[in-house]
Chains A and B, each alone.
Chain A
Amino acid sequence: DIVMTQSPDSLTVSLGERATINCKSSQSILYSSDNKNYLAWYKQKPGQPPKLLVSWASIRESGVPDRFSGSGSGSDFTLTISSLQAEDSAVYYCQQYYASPYTFGQGTSLEI
């Protein structure tokens, strides 16, 4: 199984500042035939289901603010949240969909 490891486990960032969350996969999740990275990012607030933010490592979902951006390739990925707002306080998960079983990182708790 592909193991997804996020860092840090938690972080506290001030309003208006930038937060960076890292995600590393135990093997490359870049599929050579289509040159796509099979990685998604989700945001989860307490008592709610996860919300999809980014797919294909860098494609922001419709309606997601442009302060959220995904980057990286191969086995190293980053979610950057610029100009943090209070509502960005949540747990963030990365997920690989390169190979079954589809696995998630352990989550990063972001406090503002």
Chain B
Amino acid sequence: QVQLVQSGAEVKKPGASVRLSCKASGFTFRNYYMHWVRQAPGQGLEWMGIIYPSGETTSYARKFQGRVTMTRDTATSTVYLQLTRLRAEDTAVYFCARDPSGEDYFDHWGQGTLLTVSS
């Protein structure tokens, strides 16, 4: 069965960087687009960006451009999210999500990783 298993919770200070991971199994990872979506405490869902199957193409929401990098490793079926210059407003649960057909909706989600940014 499709599984997306994310890395554990992180606590970072403002200005630091973080890299989150999401390991996929149960499907042919190299064929699928992957997205990251975040959810601040008690808030709604916010799309951050997409990484194409090749890993050579990414597209980020304007809000995160310059601070976010998405990468993937086909050998380990893992997708990564790096976020730099962290601020308190980045405190959120970060989800990786699979795109079933390149159409930009999400049929399977990771369990989420809580990132806390605090001095």
Bound pair: A and B?
yes
* Min CB–CB distance A96 → chain B (angstroms): 9
Given contact pairs A40-B105, A50-B109, A52-B107, A100 touches B44 in the complex (Cβ within 8 A): no
When distances are taken between beta carbons in the complex, the residues of chain A under 8 Å from B61 are 100-101
Whether a CB of chain B sits under 8 angstroms from the CB of A97 is yes
A49 touches B110 (CB 8 A): yes
Known contacts A49-B110, A50-B106, A50-B109: A102-B44 contact under CB 8 Å: no
Is the Cβ of B45 less than 8 Å from the Cβ of A50? Answer: yes
The interface size of chain B toward A, counting residues with CB under 8 Å, comes to: 21
Q: Does A104 contact B (CB under 8 A)?
A: yes
Known: A97-B104, A100-B59, A102-B104. A49 touches B109 (CB 8 A): yes
| Contact pattern, B 28-68, Cβ under 8 Å of A = 1, otherwise 0 | 00000001000000001111000000000001011100000
Q: Bits for A82-112, please: 1 = Cβ < 8 Å to B, else 0.
A: 0000000000010101001111111100000
A49→B111 CA distance, assembly (Å): 6
Q: Are B45 and A101 in contact (CB under 8 A)?
A: no
What's the minimum C-beta distance from A1 to chain B, rounded to whole angstroms? 8
How would you classify the secondary structure of chain A's contact residues: helix, strand, loop or mixed? loop
A-chain residues with CB within 8 Å of residue B63 when the two chains form the complex: 101
Query: Residue of A at shortest CB range from B64?
Result: A101
Task: Please measure, in the bound complex, the distance between the C-alpha atom of A50 and the C-alpha atom of B109, giving whole angstroms.
Answer: 7
The minimal Cβ–Cβ distance linking B63 to chain A, given in whole angstroms, is 8
Within the complex, the shortest CB–CB distance from A27 to chain B, in Å, comes to: 16
Beyond A55-B107, A107-B45, 11 additional pairs, beta carbon < 8 A? A49-B97, A49-B112, A52-B105, A52-B106, A93-B44, A100-B61, A100-B104, A101-B61, A101-B62, A104-B44, A104-B47
Contacts A/B (CB < 8 Å), 24 sampled? A38-B104, A40-B106, A42-B106, A49-B111, A49-B112, A50-B95, A50-B106, A50-B109, A52-B106, A55-B103, A95-B105, A95-B106, A97-B104, A97-B105, A101-B47, A101-B61, A102-B47, A102-B105, A103-B47, A104-B45, A104-B46, A104-B47, A107-B44, A107-B45
